[in-house]
Structure 1
Amino acid sequence: MQLSVEELHEQIGKLEGWKLEQETLVRKYMFSEYMKGIAFVDEVAAISEAFDHHPHITIDYKTVTLRLSAKEESGLAALDFRQAHEFNEAFDKAR
């Protein structure tokens, strides 16, 4: 179910490091080593498979950028925010 504009702003306020760019949730994760970023991407892939919802992933040396959008839902949904929360938990464990 697509979230209203008010719900989007409420939810984004609860997510550390994420920002809203048009209709996409975006976060850049910084790592001290390249391989830590790659291990994080592996964890992101496992989480994404469990959700059956996959982010756009960009790896730029020690920076991993994730972009979540729900085109099939015609906008961001609660699922995107739950998944972003899981990604943040994985990042906290990976540091």
Structure 2
Amino acid sequence: MLLTEEELREQVSKLEGWKLDQNTMVRKYMFNEFMKGIAFVDAVAAISEAFDHHPHITIDYKTVTLRLTSNEEGGITPLDIREAHEFNEAFEKAR
């Protein structure tokens, strides 16, 4: 079930660092060491497997960018929001 525009704005405003880009949520995570970013990606992979919902991941040296959307739904769902919260928690542990 897709979130309404109002629900989406409200939920994303509660997620530190996340922004909307059309039908996608995006966050860039910055690390002071390359290997900390890689460890974070490992945590993201474990979370994604548990949710059976996988983000687009870009690694650019010390920056990891995650993009979340529910392709089968055609936009952002509550699952994306819950997963983004988990990614933020993993980031706090990784840095």
Q: TM-score range by the shorter chain?
A: over 0.9
How high is the TM-score relative to the length of structure 2? Answer: 0.99
State the shift of 1:73 in Å.
Answer: 1.1
Identity level (%): 77
| Alpha-carbon distance in structure 1 between the residues aligned to 2:73 and 2:86 | 20
| Alpha-carbon distance in structure 1 between the residues aligned to 2:72 and 2:38 | 28
| Alpha-carbon distance in structure 2 between the residues aligned to 1:40 and 1:64 | 8
1:92 maps to 2:92? yes
1:16 maps to 2:11? no
Map of 2:46 onto structure 1? 46
| Alpha-carbon distance in structure 2 between the residues aligned to 1:78 and 1:10 | 12
Map of 1:30 onto structure 2? 30
State the shift of 1:8 in Å.
Answer: 0.4
State the shift of 1:89 in Å.
Answer: 0.1
Counterpart residue identity of residue 58, structure 1? T
Gaps of 5+ in 2: none
1:77 maps to 2:77? yes
Map of 1:3 onto structure 2? 3
Superposed CA RMSD in Å reads 0.4
Structure 1's consecutive aligned runs of 4 or more residues displaced over 2 angstroms after TM superposition are none
State the shift of 1:90 in Å.
Answer: 0.1
Q: What is the total number of aligned residue pairs between the two structures?
A: 95
Map of 2:67 onto structure 1? 67
State the shift of 1:66 in Å.
Answer: 0.2
Gaps of 5+ in 1: none
| Alpha-carbon distance in structure 1 between the residues aligned to 2:88 and 2:58 | 16
